[in-house]
Structure 1
Amino acid sequence: MRLTLLSAALLLAMAALPAAAANSQSDDIAGVWQTKTGGYVQVYKDGDSYDGRIVGSSDGKPRYDKKNPDADKRGRRLLGVVILHGLKYQDNGEYDGGHIYDPNSGKTYKAKATMKGPDTLDARGYIGISLLGKTQTWHRIDPKAEHVHQDLLHQPVGAAPQSGN
């Protein structure tokens, strides 16, 4: 009887491992990334998907949302704006089903992303089908890097909440 219970417990534990590993892999996208144009975007988990907020830039100079189709938003600073919404983990480091706002054009596109390594992410914005789009390679940076606005950072995945956030 003990052997049967032990075997059953071991089988249950082994069955849970792939789900735990997949969840761990899905969180690999979380972090602060430098875009091709020098912007810093923090990708963070929001429910069952991932979003991204502008948290700084490599040069530290303020940028404004001049191309926004909403005239009322053209004077707003891009710092703190959520530009990536709803990416969902698929498998093997791939995320899909999101939308990304390009402040350089003022347009919003469908989005997908692929982890190319622990510190390299290919972010793709596209119209209709993925073939009609553009990929940018983003590089992970230290969240404590110069010009990263600490007050805008979401908590890292699994971190205990800090007071004041």
Structure 2
Amino acid sequence: MRLFKILLFIVFLLSFSLSFSQNTPVSDRIIGTWFSEDKDLKVEIFKKNGHFLGKVVWFICDPKTPNMEDFKDIENPNPNLRNRSWLGMLVVENLLFNGKDTWENGSIYDPNTGRTYNSVVKLKDINTLVVRGYWGFEIFGKNLVFHRVE
């Protein structure tokens, strides 16, 4: 009886997984909310005009700093943007799906430094996203890992 329950559970998981992948276009599999591996940032990835973008929906704040809503983009090199809030800020822009579980030609903005990096995003599995930010050559970049929230 116990073996039957385990097999039934496995069949359920497989059918759920197949259902998810059949109803969602391959290019849209990164759409959703993602939690950083360090559990200090949540980013929502969405699609607009054929490009994939990401906005900050939550981040951890040190108790000695202002509330999340009060953080401003003070490091931005453009003085006109220094008053915008981190919360809701687009930090991933213009990613395009290349057909191989990879989204390329985008950019990632780091509000901590005010720098923008080239980016490549790879779906390691349905719930793990590897984001690589780099300047110039991809080999000189850094990976950030995110896990699906929803």
Q: Which residue of 2 aligns with 1:104?
A: 112
Q: Which residue of 1 aligns with 2:88?
A: 80
Aligned mate of 2:74, from 55, 58, 66: 66
Give secondary structure in 2 for the equivalent of 1:29.
Answer: coil
What residue is the counterpart of 2:59 in the other structure?
57
Distance of 1:37 and 1:83 partners within structure 2? 17
Larger Rg: 1
Tell me if structure 2 keeps the 8 A contact 1:40–1:58. Answer: no
Structure 1: runs of 5+ lacking an equivalent: 1-20, 143-165
> For residues 133 and 124 of structure 2, what CA distance do their matches in structure 1 show?
16
State the distance in 2 between where 1:76 and 1:86 align.
Answer: 20
Give the structure 2 partner of residue 45 of structure 1.
47
Q: How many equivalent residue pairs?
A: 122
Shift of 1:64: 2.5
* Equivalent-residue separation in structure 1 for 2:100 and 2:60 (angstroms): 30
2:145 is matched with: 137
After the TM superposition, which of the residue ranges 86-95 and 74-83 deviates more from structure 2?
74-83
In structure 1, C-alpha distance between the alignment counterparts of 2:39 and 2:104, rounded to whole Å:
22
Q: Provide the secondary structure at the position in 2 that maps to 1:131.
A: helix
Equivalent-residue separation in structure 1 for 2:139 and 2:77 (angstroms): 25
Which runs of 5 or more structure 2 residues have no equivalent in the other structure? Answer: 1-21, 62-66
User: 107, 124, 132: which one pairs with 1:116?
Assistant: 124
1:59-98 per-residue CA deviation (whole Å, 9 max, x = no partner) reads: 6734322211123333332111111111111122111011
- 1:91 partner SS: coil
SS at match of 1:138: strand
TM-score, normalised by the number of residues in structure 2:
0.72
Shift of 1:58: 4.9
Output the TM-score relative to the length of structure 1. Answer: 0.66
The one-letter code of the counterpart of 2:68 is K
